[in-house]
Each structure stands twice: as structure tokens, then as C-alpha cells.
Amino acid sequence: MSQPLIDLKNITKSFDGTVVLDDLNLAVAENTFVTLLGPSGCGKTTTLRIIGGFETADQGQVIFDGEDISKLPPNKRQLNTVFQKYALFSHMNIAENIAFGLKIKGKSKSYIQDKIKYALKLVNLDGYENRSVSSLSGGQQQRIAIARAIVNEPRVLLLDEPLGALDLKLRQDMQYELIRLKNELGITFIYVTHDQEEALTMSDTIVVMNQGYIQQMGTPEQIYNEPENAFVADFIGESNIVPGIMIRDELVEIFGARFACVDKGFGNNKPVDVVIRPEDIDLVDPSAGTLTGVCTHLIFKGVHYEMEVTTPDGFEWLVHSTDLCPVGQEVGIHVDPFDIQIMNKPASEDEEAVGINE
């Protein structure tokens, strides 16, 4: 990454004495789809609002294309926002909504007309110019909100949980729409969501946040396959997080059984946390399993069965598999080496604090 388009430096923000963001640093490259992902209250929306200019950071700088824009009001920033609840202007029709930013900038009538047409086509709502806001469905309103933002040709589009209020099917459709839009426009998207599936589907880079800290930043594959700590592993998808001991490089002991893995450099006989995704567990004949247990729970989920296998130490392994293992049957657990992800145990209390609080 050469010079980042947006660079957040040491951003700190608190509301009424509660620290929401603590010394946050984040660089966003041009023309990427970056998602801020985390549970509610993790500071992701506040981060977005600081970039948009709707909140001011207590400390730190917002650098945009090499310039400090921390003190600029929202109307002086070269970026546009799509709000969670659309925030369309109900006293204007669709065309007037889309034209708002362009009229403020004093663009010519013909230019505005062309832009409205182009934007409506882009969001697949041709011919909606004269409709009223209230006659549109939630999904359509959100498309108009996106159209209203992109006609201004921002270099960055900020999206604050834009699909949060839509139903599942529409949400999935809109995810593909957003990917298409991003590719057609060639601009940077900064997207805030608490929905991990949304984040995995759309992003080039995912920033996992919790309690005002960035937990991990990486591609969706990295975040999913190589979570750096228990919080990330638990928040992104379902997972089995078990205590283990790193015997030596590429060998880990879990509940007394030794599994081959691919991780190195943790030292010898060191306690670690081990993450194994439910779909990475192979159920085999008890004689062939590294661990053996009894199936204690079985639910049909459509694509796969969800099972729980309890091993003698009492741990319930969550298993996703298309093969069925009836409740009560003894079964062996096998995991391929590259499906085992080793994480350091939280070293300090500080790190513990940002982990899972259950």
C-alpha cells in the first residue's frame, strides 16, 4: 500500500466518560472495500462518523489524501455517507433528492438531469424520478440513498449498516449490488456492519473491532481461517475454541490427544488456544479418530447437519457435516493439520479485556 487514501491516526473518542475508541489507527487504501465489523458498541459506527465529520475525535487526526481534515465540517469533505435509515428528504421527490448535492454545488440543469438518469440506472430504478419517497419500499429507498450519495462523485463512500433494516433475501441481493457498484465506480467503500456474513461476502479488507480496539485486520480468508484471537474466532462464524498445549512446532496436544498442525514458532510445551471450525471436523470410525466422543445432539439445518460430540473430558464439539451421526453413537474426531488454527493465549489483562466476555 503506497499512500493510504484515509489514514486515522491515534483516534480517541469518549462519550460521557465512556471510552468508545482508544488510540485507533487505521489506514484505508484507494479503491478498496473495507468493512468495519463488530458487535454493537464496538466503536465501528463512531469511527465512520468521525471520518464523515459528524463526530469530532477527542484526540487524533483524520488524514484524507495526505491532508488533515479533522477540523473540516461534513459539507467540506470529499466523501459521502449512506445512512442506516436512508435519511431521504421526505419533502422532495426522488429526482430532487438525488439532485440535492449537485444543486448545492451549483451544477447546470442538464448536467444534473444526466446525473439523475445515470444514477437511477446504476441502482436499477430507471423512471422513478417523480415518485415520492414514501411510495418506495425500504430496499428502493436505500438504493436512492446510494444514488443520492454517488452522483456527487465522492472518492470514498461511507455506508453505515445500510442493509440493516432490510429482510434477508433483499439483503443478499443488495450485497451483490454493492459489490457491482463498487467495481463499476472504482471508489473506496467503507462499510459498517455487525453481520459477519455480509462482511465476508463483500469486503476486500475486514477490520474486526471490539470495545474500541481493532482486533484483527485482513482479507476475509485471513479473518476466517486464521483468527488472531478468541474474540475474532468466536465472532466470525462458529468455532470450537479449546485450550491446548503446543508440544513443539507443528504438533499440538488437545485433551491428551496429539494433533498434527501447520503452525510454528509458539515454542515448546506452551499453553495455547486452538480454533477448529465446525465444518473442518471429520467424523470417522472411533478406531480412526484422534479423539473419540459420543454424539449428544443432532439438528438438520438444510445444507448440513449440526451435531454436538461430547468427548470424555466433557467438551462439546460443534460439528457441521453432511454425514449424519445418530445421537448416542460413539464416533471418532479427525482434523486435517491445515484446519487447526493456533492462537496465543491472552498474555495480559488488557488483552483479556478485549476478548470474549461471557
Partner 1 sequence: MSKKILAAPYLLWMAGFIIIPLALIVYYGLTDKNGAFTIANVASIGTPEHVKALWLSLWLSLVSTAICLVLAYPLAMILRNRGIGRGSFIVFIFILPMWMNFLLRTMAWQTLLEKNGVINGILSLLHLPTQSLINTAGAIILGMVYNFLPFMVLPIYNVLCKIDDDTINAARDLGANSVQTLLRIWFPLSVPGVISGITMVFVPALTTFVISNLLGGSKILLIGNVIEQEFTRGSNWHLGSGLSLVLMVFILISMAVIAKYDKNGEGSAF
List residues near partner 1 by CB under 8 A.
52-54, 73-75, 80-81, 83-85, 87-91, 100-101, 104-105, 145, 148-149, 152
Residues facing residue 192 across a β-bridge = 36, 160
DSSP H helical ranges for 164-261: 168-185, 196-202, 220-225, 230-235
Query: Minimal distance in Å, beta carbon 100 to partner 1?
Result: 5
Query: Minimal distance in Å, beta carbon 111 to partner 1?
Result: 15
Query: Minimal distance in Å, beta carbon 76 to partner 1?
Result: 8
Report d(CA 132, CA 287) in Å as an integer. 68
Report d(CA 221, CA 241) in Å as an integer. 18
Comparing CA positions, the residue from 67, 89, 84 lying closest to residue 76 is: 67
Any idea which residue has 468455532 for its cell? Answer: 239
Nearer to partner 1, 131 or 320 (CB): 131
The DSSP-derived string for 66-100 is TEE-TT--GGGSSEEEE-TT----TTSBHHHHHHH
For 113, phi then psi, to 5°, come to -60, -45
Comparing CA positions, the residue from 63, 28, 29, 23 lying closest to residue 43 is: 23
Query: Minimal distance in Å, beta carbon 317 to partner 1?
Result: 45
Nearer to partner 1, 44 or 148 (CB): 148
Residues facing residue 232 across a β-bridge = none
Query: Minimal distance in Å, beta carbon 148 to partner 1?
Result: 7
Query: Minimal distance in Å, beta carbon 81 to partner 1?
Result: 5
Nearer to partner 1, 80 or 229 (CB): 80
For 111, phi then psi, to 5°, come to -60, -45
DSSP H helical ranges for the chain: 44-52, 94-104, 109-122, 138-150, 168-185, 196-202, 220-225, 230-235, 349-353
330 and 294 in contact (C-beta within 8 Å)? Answer: yes
Give me 333's grid cell. Answer: 474426531
Nearer to partner 1, 6 or 208 (CB): 6
Nearer to partner 1, 51 or 274 (CB): 51
Query: Minimal distance in Å, beta carbon 230 to partner 1?
Result: 35
Nearer to partner 1, 80 or 341 (CB): 80
Q: Give the CA angle between residues 94, 48, 353 to the nearest 5°.
A: 145
Nearer to partner 1, 138 or 286 (CB): 138
Comparing CA positions, the residue from 285, 322, 286 lying closest to residue 306 is: 322
Query: Minimal distance in Å, beta carbon 145 to partner 1?
Result: 8
Query: Minimal distance in Å, beta carbon 74 to partner 1?
Result: 4
CA 39 to chain centre: 10
**Amino acid in the structure at residue 299:** I
Nearer to partner 1, 78 or 172 (CB): 78
Nearer to partner 1, 69 or 343 (CB): 69
